[in-house]
Amino acid sequence: MKLFIEALKLTNYQAPEREFYYWLLLGVFLIPFGFWLDTQVFAYIVQWQTPILNTLIVFLTEYVIYALLGLFGIATLYRVWNSENHQSQLVPGCFAVLAAGIAAYVLKSYFAIPRPYLEMALTPLVPGHSYSFPSGHTAVAFALLIPLWRINKWLGLSWLTFALAVGFARVYEFVHFPSDIAAGVILGGLVGAIFSHKESLKLFKVLWQELEFRRQSFHFACGFLCVFLHWAGALRLRAIAFVLVVGLIISFIAQYKKFPLLGKILASFDRPRDMNFPGRGAFYFCLGVFLTFLLFQKEHINIAYAAILILAVGDSLNHLFASQVYKYGLPWNRRKNIVGIMTGILMGTLAAQFFVPILPAFLASTVAITAETVPWRVGKFYLDDNLLVPLISGTLLWLMI
C-alpha cells in the first residue's frame, strides 16, 4: 500500500522489538503456569462461590467491561473530533482493542478448545458462545493496559487491577481455563504495547491525516463491532433502526445549521461530494447492516455475519488500496484497480470463512467486491456500495449454503 509505505519512510519507523520480546518472555513463564493450574483451580472455586459474589462477577464481565470500553470509545471520538488535526493518544488504544479481539477470535477458531464447564461437567454462570483458548475478555482488557499506562501511570495501575479481576472472573464463571487467561494476557499486552509504542504513534499520526484511511478504519471497526455486539446479544434491529432515524434527522439539520462538534465529526469522515448529505457513508453503512440482519435472521444469522464482514473487511481494503495504487485501473471505472479488487476479495473471504464455508465465502466475496466497482446508477441516484456489497454477498451465500 503506497500510503503505508510512504508513512513508514516519512516517520523512519523502527519496530518496537524490545517490548515484543519482553511480552514473549513473560508468556514463556505465564502460559505454562496457567496450564499447570488448569487441573487444580476449579475444585477451589466451587468452594468459594456465593450468590452475592456470583452476581458481582457476572455484572463485571457482562456489563462493566463493555460499559468501560464504550466510554473509552466515546472519549476517543471526542478527543479526535475536538483536535485540530483529528488525532489523539487514545486512538491506538481503540485499534489495540479491536486487533486483540479479532486475534482472539481467530485463535479460538484455530485451536477449538472446549470450555472448561463442558469438559468437567460444571455449571457455568454465563455460558460461552465460542471456544475457550484464548480468553477474549482478558485479551481486550489487557490490550488497553499499556496504552493507558503510557498516558498516566495511576490510570494504568487502576486498569491493571480491573483487567486482572476480569481474568479471574472468567475462570470463576467456569468459562475459561487459567491457561486461556494467561494467553489472553500475553496477546492483549503484546498488541497494546505495539500499537501504543512511540514509533507506532508517529506512524498513526501520518496515516490518520489521510481521509480515506480514517473512513475505511471507521468502516472496518464498525463492521466487526456490529457483528460482535449482535453475536453477544447486545445489538438488535430496533437499536440500528433508531440510529438510522436519528442519523437521518441530524444529517438533514446539518445541511441548514452548523453545529461545532457535529461539523468536526462529519468533516473527519465525509468526502467532499457528501456536502449535500452529511454523514452519507455512515448512514448507508448502518442501513446496509440493518437490511442484512433483517433479511438473514435466526437460522441464517451466520450468513448475515459473513456478509457484513465482507463489507467491513473486503470493501474497506478494496477502497483503501484502490485509492493508493494508481496502476492497473479498470476500463469501466478508472478509480478502481485490480490490486484493490484482489485484496478486497482475499481479505473478505478470510473474514467471512469464520461463519460460512470457505468456497461460498470466496465466491460471494468475489462477486460482491467486483460488482461494487460498477457505478450502478438510476437517474441521479447511485446505489451505495454499503448496500450493494452485503446484500449481494448475503444473497449468494443464502443460495449456496
User: Between residues 249 and 102, which one has the greater pLDDT?
Assistant: 102
At 93, give phi and psi (nearest 5°): -65, -40
Tell me the domain boundaries of the chain: 2-206, 212-400
Average pLDDT, stretch 267-296?
71
User: Between residues 122 and 8, which one has the greater pLDDT?
Assistant: 122
Average pLDDT, stretch 133-158?
89
- According to DSSP, the β-strands at 329-330 and 381-382 are unpaired
Instruction: Answer whether residue 255 shows pLDDT above 70.
Output: no
Instruction: Answer whether residue 272 shows pLDDT above 80.
Output: no
Q: How many helices (H) and strands (E) does the chain have?
A: 21, 4
At 157, give phi and psi (nearest 5°): -65, -40
Mean pLDDT of the chain: 77
Cα–Cα distances (Å) from 30 to 33, 35, 42, 116, 164, in that order, read 5, 9, 18, 19, 14
Instruction: Answer whether residue 138 shows pLDDT above 90.
Output: yes
Whole-model pTM: value is: 0.69
Q: Return all residues near 159 (Cβ < 8 A) that are at least 6 apart.
A: 141, 144, 145, 148, 149
- The CATH number given to 2-206 is 1.20.144
What pLDDT does 166 receive? 92
- Judged on CB neighbours under 10 Å (0-12, 13-18, 19+), 28 is exposed
Cα–Cα distances (Å) from 112 to 94, 180, 305, 360, in that order, read 27, 12, 19, 22
What pLDDT does 48 receive? 81
User: What gap in Å lies between CA 87 and CA 187, rounded to an integer?
Assistant: 26
What pLDDT does 212 receive? 67
Cα–Cα distances (Å) from 278 to 79, 236, 251, 311, in that order, read 21, 25, 5, 21
pLDDT (tens digit per residue) in 160-213: 999 999 999 998 888 889 999 999 999 999 888 888 877 766 666 666 666 667
pLDDT (tens digit per residue) in 216-230: 777 777 887 788 777
Runs of H (alpha helix) within 39-152: 41-48, 51-59, 65-81, 91-111, 116-119, 136-143, 145-151
pLDDT (tens digit per residue) in 86-97: 566 777 788 888
What pLDDT does 8 receive? 45
At 200, give phi and psi (nearest 5°): -65, -35
User: Between residues 374 and 31, which one has the greater pLDDT?
Assistant: 31
Least confident residue range of 107-116, 291-300, 313-322: 313-322
What pLDDT does 203 receive? 66
What pLDDT does 4 receive? 47
CA atoms in the 13 A half-sphere facing the CB of 21: 4
* Cβ(83)–Cβ(179) below 8 Å: no
User: What gap in Å lies between CA 304 and CA 31, rounded to an integer?
Assistant: 36
Instruction: Answer whether residue 350 shows pLDDT above 70.
Output: yes
Cα–Cα distances (Å) from 212 to 218, 222, 243, 305, 319, in that order, read 10, 15, 23, 24, 8
The model's confidence at residue 85, banded by pLDDT at 50, 70 and 90, is low
| Cell (9 digits) for 143 | 490490550
What pLDDT does 181 receive? 92
Q: Return the sign of the alpha-carbon dihedral for residues 100, 101, 102, 103.
A: positive
Instruction: Answer whether residue 103 shows pLDDT above 70.
Output: yes
Q: Return the SS3 of 17.
A: helix
User: What gap in Å lies between CA 61 and CA 136, rounded to an integer?
Assistant: 11
Beta partners for residue 377, in sequence order: 382
Runs of H (alpha helix) within 197-258: 198-207, 211-231, 237-254
What pLDDT does 165 receive? 92
User: What gap in Å lies between CA 149 and CA 138, rounded to an integer?
Assistant: 17
Average pLDDT, stretch 2-11?
49
Q: Return all residues near 367 (Cβ < 8 A) that are at least 6 apart.
A: 392, 393, 396
pLDDT (tens digit per residue) in 11-27: 455 556 677 778 888 88
Beta partners for residue 333, in sequence order: 330
Q: Return the SS3 of 377.
A: strand
The model's confidence at residue 247, banded by pLDDT at 50, 70 and 90, is low
